[in-house]
Copies of this chain bind each other. A is one copy, B any other.
Amino acid sequence: MAKSQADRFSKEHQLLADLAKVLSHPARIAILEVLASRNVCVCGEVVAELPLSQATVSQHLKVLLEAGLITGEIEGPKSCYCVNWNRLAEVQSMLTKWFGDTIQLKLNCC
């Protein structure tokens, strides 16, 4: 998408699409589940669970970080990542609201 196309759509539509995009890769779904199921959140453990290289996992972690879905504390050699539960609930709420609002528009169409 070119720069001039960045504001073709409403902020709300763009926001929703961006959220969906974060979840649009199985690796990121898997990473969220791994982090959610452990109280230890060291990066290396995530890498060990995934069929991807360390560099690739790190990239996916960055995407999740930038979306606020996880928090990360880079403590020297070891990085500790953790699910941002509040944000995750917020995203769930936004998606649920959109579905609810849209389905509510239901008319006898077609």
CB atoms of A32 and B85 under 8 A apart = no
Contact A38 B109 (CB under 8 A): yes
Instruction: Find out whether the CB atom of A110 lies under 8 angstroms from the CB atom of B41.
Output: yes
Are B35 and A109 touching (Cβ within 8 A)? yes
Number of copies: 2
Question: Nearest chain B CB to A79's CB is how many angstroms away?
Answer: 11
Among candidates B17, B71, B95, residue contacting A26 with C-beta atoms closer than 8 Å: B17
Known: A9-B27, A9-B51, A17-B25. 16 other contacts (CB 8 A): A9-B26, A9-B29, A17-B24, A18-B24, A20-B24, A33-B105, A36-B102, A37-B105, A39-B107, A39-B108, A41-B109, A71-B110, A85-B106, A91-B99, A95-B96, A96-B96
